[in-house]
Copies of this chain bind each other. A is one copy, B any other.
Amino acid sequence: MVRVKSEAVREAILASAATEISANGYLDTTIGRIAKGAGIAPSNVYVYFVSKLEIYFAIYDPWFKDQFLALERRVKRQPTRDKKIRHLVQGILRDIAIDQTGYTAALMEALAAIKPKDKYRPDLLTWAENKIEQIILKSVGGYEAGDPRLKAFAHLLMLTFDGTALRVKALRANAQEDGTMDAVEDMLMAIISGSGHSV
């Protein structure tokens, strides 16, 4: 092997793509513009990534996990169980689903655009649901490991996450401004704070 991929080029592609996706979403971000932003030819992008989808997830995956890890720390820091639960639910719905970068809105486009040949594996979703279980288990408390309600709650929360993000995308308004989202959050919080035996 006599010529080696440039880490700088790879980073330039990711940086350019991140900017574009944040500004224009997934579908409207073109390989051409990513390449121009990175200072290379469009075809050269394919030396570093097999597809636009792969580029997107190379950006979204670490961002998403960082968000959850930061959330975990915030939850842990709360003084009361109620506050922990509130931070968990609101953090996921308000901060990650409705994020300022637009990465999650782009996720909806990316997921919708997936073709069978992309062989997408929902690792991120699994990871997130496991992380939610973990946060409740270790930082919120009140549940035993393996409690099936934990897995169900985590799934419900992530389904709600998807719906929230999708609506940001399609309605370009943070949905109901009338306090309905607050009430939805309350319902979700009630599920997890009520059901567990108290600490």
Q: Is A151 close to B, CB under 8 A?
A: yes
Per assembly, the copies of the chain total: 2
Question: Within the complex, what minimum Cβ distance (angstroms) separates A167 from chain B?
Answer: 7
- Given A116-B172, A122-B171, answer yes or no on A152-B183 (Cβ-Cβ < 8 Å): yes
Instruction: Indicate if the CB atoms of A158 and B163 lie closer than 8 Å.
Output: yes
Contacts of A108 in B (CB 8 A): 108, 111-112, 166
Chain A interface SS verdict (over half): helix
Which chain B residues border A76 with CB–CB below 8 Å?
A: none
Q: A147-190, CB under 8 A of B: which get 1 and which 0?
A: 01101110110111111101101111001100111011011101
Contact A122 B170 (CB under 8 A): yes
Report chain B residues within 8 Å CB of A181: 155
In the complex, which range does the number of interface residues on chain A fall in?
35 or more
> Given A159-B164, A162-B166, A171-B122, A149 and B183 touching (CB < 8 A)?
yes
Which residues on the B side are within 8 Å of A69 (C-beta)? Answer: none
Q: Is the CB of B191 within 8 A of A111?
A: no
Residues of chain B contacted by A111 (CB below 8 angstroms): 108, 112, 166, 169-170
Complex contacts, A120 vs chain B, CB 8 Å: 170
| Residues of chain A whose beta carbon lies under 8 Å from any beta carbon of chain B | 27-28, 108-109, 111-116, 120, 122, 125, 148-149, 151-153, 155-156, 158-164, 166-167, 169-172, 175-176, 179-181, 183-184, 186-188, 190-191
